[in-house]
Amino acid sequence: MLDYETFTLRNKGYISDIIQERIKDTKVLIAGCGMGSTIAEVMFRSGFTNLVLADADTVEAHNLNRQCFNKEDIGLSKTTALAKRLRSIYPSANITEYKKFINNDNAYDLMKDVDLVIDTIDFIDLPGVTSLYDQAAKQSTPVISAINAGFGAIALFYPHNNNCTFRQLFGLPSEGPVESVSYSEKYAAIIHKLSTHLNPQIVTEMAKAIGFMEDGKPCPASQIAPGSYTAGTLATTIAIKHLANENIASAPNIILLDLASIIQTSVIDLHK
């Protein structure tokens, strides 16, 4: 039997025993298990083994280039395939599967005893994602939203102890239904603000995705493995530093990690 101390042994030096214990005790909701699968695995290998996996989708062949699934998983529910993968790493994990999309009717029951939320819900499901954030705000549960962006990732941290909420950031009504609001328009406005800071290739691909969102179609945006695993790394780092009570840039500040730019500029000449 693989015990937790042995499983996390090599974290020592970077994660203190106190913080590792907090990680062990933290119950995390992974809302969306496609993009969320890479975040879940990086968090899981860091010691977050108390997880709720929420998604109603199934694994498709085009997911395999960037999500933590195998060919044999095609056709399985994403929660089942992800739970199977994680338990193969650490069988003693406490994993709950929730094979439904989040909405206003189930958000409370799903989140009532959760300590931290990872949001990777599809952009076109504005009512669902708003229900998630409304409930998180009511119970002061921190939310980390992370998406892949080319060879990098973008993250937002909502500690829900300041004045910035999801509704405020995206210019939504302060309360009530949002079915009549175009999320693609709201999202496009955010991307426009970010455009001067993003690689032009990312802006181009996101513009294509927004076009599909306006048509109400599932987002077929080009996404690659380096971006997905960067999002996993970024979200996990935020989660660990949050539990360590370290300072983290929170919404409305956006955290951007562009590896394509970093490898060009972050250079140290060892000959000097």
Q: How confident is the model at residue 67 (pLDDT cuts 50, 70, 90)?
A: very high
217 confidence band (pLDDT: 50, 70, 90) = low
Determine the Cα–Cα distance for residues 219 and 211; give it in Å rounded to an integer.
Answer: 9
> Tokens at residue 141, please?
């549960």
Angle of helix 183-194 versus helix 200-214 axis, rounded to 10: 170
pLDDT digits (tens, 9 = 90+) for 163-183: 799 999 988 999 999 988 877
Asked if pLDDT for residue 257 goes beyond 80, the answer is yes
- Model confidence at 63: pLDDT above 90: yes
Q: From CA 64, how far away is CA 77, in angstroms rounded?
A: 14
DSSP, residue by residue, 17-55: HHHHHHHHH--EEEE-SSHHHHHHHHHHHTT--EEEEE-
* CA 272/CA 33 separation, integer angstroms: 46
Residue 135 is classified by DSSP as: H
**50: domain CATH number?**
3.40.50.720
Portion of the chain with pLDDT greater than 90, in percent: 75
What local confidence, expressed as pLDDT, does residue 213 receive?
61
Pairing state between β 28-31 and 50-54: parallel
- Domains in the chain, number: 1
Q: Supply the pTM of this predicted model.
A: 0.94
Is 67 contained in some domain?
Answer: yes
Kind of pairing between the strands at 50-54 and 152-158: unpaired
In a domain? residue 212: no
Asked if residue 196 lies in contact with residue 183, where contact means CB atoms within 8 angstroms, the answer is: no
pLDDT at 219: 56
CA distance 208 to 203: 9
Identify the residue with better confidence: 208 or 97: 97
Of 41-55, 93-107, 180-194, the least confident = 180-194
**In this structure, what is the dihedral angle of CA atoms 124, 129, 130, 132, given to the nearest 10 degrees?**
170
Compute how many other C-beta atoms are within 10 angstroms of the C-beta atom of residue 41. 19
Cis-peptide into 218, omega within 30 deg: no
Model confidence at 42, pLDDT cuts 50, 70, 90, reads very high
Cα 144 to Cα 33: distance, rounded to the nearest angstrom: 14
Q: Fill in the amino acid letter for 259.
A: L
Q: Is residue 268 part of a domain?
A: no
Compute CA 16 distance to the chain's CA centroid, rounded to the nearest angstrom. Answer: 24
pLDDT exceeds cutoff 70 at 138? yes
- The pLDDT of residue 215 is above 60: no
Q: Which domain holds residue 43?
A: 4-162+223-262
Distance CA 252, CA 255 (A): 10
pLDDT score at 206: 80
In this prediction, residues 96-114 reach a mean pLDDT of 95
Domain assignment of residue 41, yes or no: yes
What is the average pLDDT across 100-125? 91
List the single range of 30-34, 216-220, 254-258 with lowest mean pLDDT: 216-220
pLDDT tens-digit series, residues 192-203: 888 888 888 888
Beta pairing class for 255-258 and 50-54: unpaired
Most confident of 146-150, 184-188, 228-232: 228-232
- Mean pLDDT (the chain) is 92
243 inside domain: yes
Residue carrying the six token digits 């907090």: 22
Is residue 34 one of the residues assigned to a domain? Answer: yes
On whether residue 202 sits in a domain, the answer given is: no
Domain annotation covers residue 168: no
Q: Which residue has the higher pLDDT, 207 or 256?
A: 256
Q: What is the pLDDT of residue 117?
A: 98
